[in-house]
């Protein structure tokens, strides 16, 4: 069954030809790459820090804390956060401007509580 993809239809599992699903995966990868092309290395650093900190603390992460941790100016940090939020990519800020969710985690209580292998629990965005 290596390299097979099964499609469930009712109670039946039907194998999809590899050429068909691999073409779809390649197409989706190209689209994803194009949609994330705007992100600089700083964008990735900001997003990655937000995910890690929300996972570790379960609390929203203020912009000034991001700036300090990454050695960025406050203005640059806010610009990056606005850019990521405007493009609905990976994060959302609360009314105080702190990052309250950074995909795939959130500091907000949701119905989606995830148990990690470490024993830690986080809310999923």
pLDDT score, position 87: 82
Q: In tens digits, what is the pLDDT along the chain, a chain of 125 residues?
A: 566 788 888 888 888 888 888 887 788 767 766 667 788 999 999 999 999 999 999 999 999 999 999 999 999 999 999 999 988 768 999 999 999 999 899 999 999 998 888 888 899 97
Domain 41-124 in this protein, CATH class? alpha beta
- φ, ψ (nearest 5 deg) of residue 8: -85, 125
What's the whole-model pTM score?
A: 0.71
> Rounded CA gap, 44 and 50, in Å?
10
**Is residue 97 left, alpha or beta, with left meaning phi > 0 and alpha meaning psi from -120 to 50?**
left
pLDDT score, position 34: 63
**Residue-by-residue DSSP string for 58-95:** SS-B-HHHHHHHHT--HHHHHHHHHHHHHTT-SEEE-T
């Amino acid at each position: 069954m290596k390299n097979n993809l099964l499609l469930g239809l009712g109670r039946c599992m039907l194998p999809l030809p590899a050429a068909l699903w691999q073409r779809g995966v390649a197409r989706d990868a190209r689209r994803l790459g194009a949609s994330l092309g705007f992100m600089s290395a700083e964008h990735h650093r900001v997003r990655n820090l937000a995910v890690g900190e929300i996972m570790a603390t379960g609390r929203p992460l203020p912009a000034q804390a991001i700036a300090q941790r990454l050695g960025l100016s406050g203005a640059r940090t806010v610009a990056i956060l606005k850019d990521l939020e405007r493009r609905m990519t990976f994060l959302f800020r609360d009314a105080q401007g702190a990052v309250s969710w950074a995909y795939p985690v959130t500091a907000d209580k949701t119905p989606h509580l995830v148990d990690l292998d470490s024993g830690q629990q986080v809310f999923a965005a």
